[in-house]
């Protein structure tokens, strides 16, 4: 019975020893690394764990190798003070073995070189919002009349100031809780403008490039007229928008993005209408009319004749 227990214990120990390398690889597989391609077949590895401290590393084409057969070397320091591992290979993947001291157990990380970023790709992220020159400070005012009310609505516009003889296209997206990818794009753009170490720059550039390519390939493009992009008619003041831009010139295509806050100011005034009335005024009689003079003359003549007849009649009566 005692021998049986010893055998079982021995089997468990042997099994544990055999599983140790596998567990080590599995645990280290999730280690965060960033790969920078410095030239053809040459790579620089940034490990988040070892950015600020030196370490020992080695590379192999497979994980099925004895650690004792590997040649570990000391990490190097880049120009920004980050500890890095450098190596050359023509393969698309490799295994990086790392440890803090030579007598420590190494961790193994699978390195996918297809996901590496070039220095140019990393630096290109800094050009976002600057690839296609624009002026986002201009406004446009529209005046409408509703009865006796006049409304002046002033809204923001995006003016393309690029002088190239090219065609421009755009897509405007209002940021909401549902626009997850566009929200993330704006977050990454803000992060890219902040202070980052080389590891963070590479990881950010990798995510940004993948997301930006996805959004531009799915965009519903509208051609820009007069190099002017109006904000949506139903936009409210203070809303945030992502404007994707595309420039096509001589067969070459450039993509860019702008992150804008809508502006909408409405002023209205009531116009008092002046009602015009016409009053006919009768002029006073001035007797300047010739007909009046004729009538007056006839009247006077009649009065004279009547007066004469009355006088004659009285004279005849007195003679009798």
3-state secondary structure at position 52: coil
Find, among 154, 157, 134, the residue nearest to 144 by Cα.
154
Are 232 and 174 spatial neighbours (Cβ–Cβ below 8 Å)? yes
List, for residues 99-128, the tens digit of each pLDDT value.
999 999 999 999 999 989 999 999 999 999
Q: Identify the sign of the CA torsion 165, 166, 169, 170.
A: negative
Name the token pair of 6: 């010893």
d(CA 151, CA 141) in angstroms, rounded, equals 10
Report d(CA 175, CA 182) in Å as an integer. 7
Q: What pLDDT sits at residue 14?
A: 47
- What residues does each domain of the chain span? 27-115, 126-270
Residue position matching structure tokens 């519903």: 220
Q: How many residues does the chain have?
A: 320
Q: 27 - beta bridge partners?
A: none
Task: Give CA–CA dist 232/213, Å, rounded.
Answer: 24
Residues 6+ apart with CB under 8 A from 83: 47, 50, 51, 52, 53, 54, 55, 75, 76, 77
Place of tokens 């509703």: 146
CATH class of 27-115: mainly beta
Given a contact cutoff of 8 angstroms between Cβ atoms, the answer to whether 99 and 55 are in contact is yes
pLDDT tens digit string along 267-307? 877 766 655 555 555 545 554 556 655 666 677 677 767 77
For the chain, state the CA radius of gyration.
48
The closest of 108, 119, 115, 111 to 78, measured between CA atoms, is 119
- Residues 254, 263, 227: CA angle, nearest 5 degrees: 35
Provide the token pair at 169. 């296209």
Distance separating alpha carbons of residues 270 and 298, to the nearest angstrom: 65
How many beta carbons lie within 10 A of that of residue 193, not counting itself?
12
- The pLDDT score that the predictor gives to residue 294 is 62
Residue-level pLDDT at 116: 93
Residue ranges in the chain modelled with pLDDT below 50: 2, 4-5, 7, 9, 12-30, 283, 287
Residue with the two structure tokens 């030239």: 39
The distance between the two most distant Cα atoms of the chain, rounded to a whole number of Å, is 198
Task: Tally DSSP H helices, then E strands, for the chain.
Answer: 5, 18
234, two tokens: 């139903």
* pLDDT value for 16: 46
């Amino acid at each position: 019975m005692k021998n049986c227990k010893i055998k079982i214990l021995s089997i468990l120990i042997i099994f544990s020893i055999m599983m140790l390398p596998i567990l080590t690889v599995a645990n280290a597989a999730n280690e965060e690394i960033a790969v920078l391609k410095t030239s053809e077949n040459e790579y620089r590895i940034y490990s988040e764990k070892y950015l600020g401290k030196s370490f020992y590393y080695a590379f192999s084409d497979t994980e099925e190798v004895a650690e004792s057969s590997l040649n570990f070397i000391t990490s190097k320091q880049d120009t920004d003070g980050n500890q890095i591992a450098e190596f050359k290979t023509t393969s698309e993947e490799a295994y990086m073995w790392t440890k803090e001291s030579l007598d420590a157990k190494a961790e193994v990380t699978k390195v996918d070189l297809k996901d590496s970023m070039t220095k140019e790709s990393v630096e290109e992220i800094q050009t976002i919002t600057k690839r296609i020159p624009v002026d986002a400070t201009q406004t446009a005012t529209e005046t409408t009349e509703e009865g006796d009310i006049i409304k002046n609505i002033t809204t923001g516009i995006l003016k393309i100031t690029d002088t190239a003889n090219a065609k421009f296209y755009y897509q405007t997206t209002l940021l909401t809780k549902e626009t997850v990818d566009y929200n993330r794009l704006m977050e990454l753009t803000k992060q890219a403008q902040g202070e980052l170490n080389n590891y963070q720059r590479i990881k950010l550039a990798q995510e940004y490039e993948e997301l930006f390519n996805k959004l531009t390939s799915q965009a519903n493009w509208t051609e820009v007229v007069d190099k002017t992009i109006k904000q949506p008619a139903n936009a409210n003041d203070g809303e945030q928008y992502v404007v994707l831009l595309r420039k096509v010139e001589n067969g070459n295509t450039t993509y860019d993005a702008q992150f804008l806050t809508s502006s909408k100011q409405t002023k209205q005034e009531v116009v008092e209408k002046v009602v015009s009335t016409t009053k006919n005024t009768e002029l006073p009689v001035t007797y300047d009319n010739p007909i009046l003079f004729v009538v007056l003359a006839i009247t006077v003549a009649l009065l004279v004749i009547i007066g004469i007849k009355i006088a004659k009649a009285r004279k005849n009566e007195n003679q009798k």
